[in-house]
Chains A and B, each alone.
Chain A
């Protein structure tokens, strides 16, 4: 995940921060109802040229409907969609400057790999020689030259995914739509394919809109992410924005593990907010008041597991395992929020170990520790009495 955050922050071109930049795709107050179900409830969204934009959310959040409206398979019941300044209302899918890669890949089973890829070009009446040429190019791009004469059912999952991608890009669309592009692949293939997609985007500069339910995929791929829930956009931002500064409790909870501590604001001093919270057991300080909370407000303190330290009671934090002691930032900070608890559960994940600590109030706090030393013996174990702590500037305050 570190790499993903790196990729996001490395992205220097940030047209969405430039007020003079013109969006390439625009959703203006778009809503869609099926019978009596409102799938999309008024979405405003701007995607800029060259972006790899993700629509992220659980099933039924409206992300796929949004994508299908962009592709032209559904018409919005309200609002309008613009692509390159042109209103898409009433324009059938085959006249839109978009191509879509379907979740099921939707490869034509009666056609070979080559025929599948050439299908779209044939419809456009591209000359035969050019078709052969372009098909050859994308086949080499997705490294499927050897399989060109095969039928889809003779391919592996990863190969099919690449055929679907090749078929969608061979027409050189202005917008490439991807519906769960990596969902059907196993983990190893998925990581490889993620980087291939990013490479493709770099090389072609095509604007991509990706629908996914996988937050990790969205984080790795995207320039920006729109998190959706119940037909509404909860937050739009770069992967690190969304991860580090979730706009609300839903977003915070949806992306990665997080501990939410409910409390009442008792004091606000500049950026520093103090809350009374029975869940934590003692007052908690948070250096985040973007929302402008005032004393008396109910709010949640959100802390990511990697931002919390864990130590055996009375032992130097983060030196739990035998071996050289890593000096964490917490011990130096007297203002850190601390609480005592018992390890209820732990999971060794290889790179990190995840601890679930139960505080006296019953609140479960999730903590991860990077396993920096090979073969280190674990001193914190099931039922160990521990102390957990986090710094005020590593926590966020989100509304309920």
Chain B
């Protein structure tokens, strides 16, 4: 039987290939998730590690959902989640409003310019994210570039308060996540058959109407993908509100930080993380459903 070739896709080979993503998920998502979930069932303790064991000395189960009770009923957490939701939703909207024309422009640009334009979109990734956020501080400060220029040309007498406001957080998030909106939008718009738009115009649509009736519905997968890519990380965003936000920027990421580091309450922090994850699963499910509808 020597020399019998087995097809690559058969038997153990196939099993090994499909096992890779599962192993990845198990190792880097499920295992950490299980640890975080396990901590969320404990009580905080001054110890190393700082939470109570799940099973008592006599082997009895000691976990409870009391942290969840607190997170779901206490006003502060509700407001923090709402704050995150609001910031994430409005950032997603702004990213869409800015990103769509940009993606559209790139997709319709001359083929020789497209690569350059795309490169410009991803170029900021080549510098550190923190550095770019710090750069915004330099722009938005009272003594920053924008205020200085406006004062120098006499447009304003006193600096406009931009740093440590909701505005600066919004600017930071929209700026940071804009490429994540543009890239999937570009991908769908680039594949879009422009003769469909011409057909719509031919059948009686003005350019604007054709845009709404054809371009937008057909770029929906890109819009949904881009929105998810902005919304999900923006929900849990911590660094941007911490650096650019004011004290009243109440967001889930900051509360989580406070619980973990200031309050050294790992159990409550874990609970917030789990609840945040649960909240994010909802839009992901919607996204999945949309994708499946698209494929059908």
Contact = CB atoms under 8 A, between A and B. Distances in A.
Contacts of B207: 92
A93 B214 contact: no
B56 to A, nearest CB: 59
Given A110-B217, A110-B218, A123 B203 contact: yes
B196 A108 contact: yes
Contacts of B206: 92, 94
Nearest to A102: B195
A266 B176 CA distance: 82
Contacts of A100: 198-199, 202
A108 B196 CA distance: 6
Contacts of A99: 202-203
A100 B195 CA distance: 11
Contacts of A124: 204
B89 interface: no
Given A94-B206, A171-B203, A73 B198 contact: yes
B268 to A, nearest CB: 46
Nearest to B201: A93
Prevailing SS type, chain A contact patch = loop
A321 to B, nearest CB: 51
B86 interface: no
Interface string A143-169: 000000000000000000000000100
Contacts, number: 57
Interface residues of B, number: 17
Nearest to B218: A110
Contacts of B217: 110
B209 interface: yes
Interface string B214-244: 1001100000000000000000000000000
B204 to A, nearest CB: 3
Given A73-B198, A106-B199, A94 B204 contact: yes
Nearest to A100: B202
A71 B203 contact: no
Nearest to A111: B217
A71 B214 CA distance: 19
Interface in A85-118: 92-94, 98-100, 102-104, 106, 108-110
A94 B201 contact: yes
A119 B202 contact: no
A23 interface: no
Question: In terms of DSSP, what is the predominant structure of the interface of chain B?
Answer: helix
A79 interface: no
Given A106-B193, A106-B195, A123-B209, A94 B218 contact: no
B214 A102 contact: no
A120 B204 contact: yes
Nearest to B110: A35
A73 B203 CA distance: 12
A94 B205 contact: yes
B195 A167 contact: no
A102 B204 contact: no
Nearest to B197: A106
Interface in B166-219: 193, 195-196, 198-207, 209, 214, 217-218
Q: Interface centre among B193, B199, B217, B218, by most A CB within 10 Å?
A: B199
B199 A108 contact: yes
Contacts of A104: 193, 195
B214 A108 contact: yes
A119 B198 contact: no
A106 B198 contact: yes
Contact of A119 (B193, B195, B203, B218): B203
A135 B199 CA distance: 18
A94 B193 CA distance: 19
Contacts of B218: 108-110
Nearest to A71: B202
A119 B217 CA distance: 14
A123 B205 contact: yes
B101 to A, nearest CB: 21
B201 A119 contact: no
Nearest to A117: B203
Contacts of B198: 71, 73, 93, 100, 102, 106
Interface string A60-89: 000000000001110000000000000000
A106 B201 CA distance: 12
30 contacts: A71-B198, A73-B201, A92-B207, A93-B198, A93-B201, A93-B202, A94-B201, A94-B203, A94-B206, A99-B203, A100-B198, A100-B199, A102-B198, A102-B199, A104-B193, A104-B195, A106-B195, A108-B199, A108-B214, A109-B196, A109-B218, A110-B217, A110-B218, A119-B200, A120-B203, A123-B203, A123-B204, A123-B209, A167-B199, A171-B203
Interface of B: 193, 195-196, 198-207, 209, 214, 217-218
A-B pairs, top 10 by smallest CB distance, nearest first, are: A123-B204, A120-B203, A106-B199, A106-B195, A93-B201, A94-B204, A100-B202, A102-B195, A106-B196, A93-B202
Interface of A: 71-73, 92-94, 98-100, 102-104, 106, 108-110, 119-120, 123-124, 167, 171
Given A94-B203, A123-B204, A123-B209, 9 more contacts: A93-B198, A106-B195, A108-B196, A108-B218, A109-B218, A119-B200, A123-B205, A167-B203, A171-B204
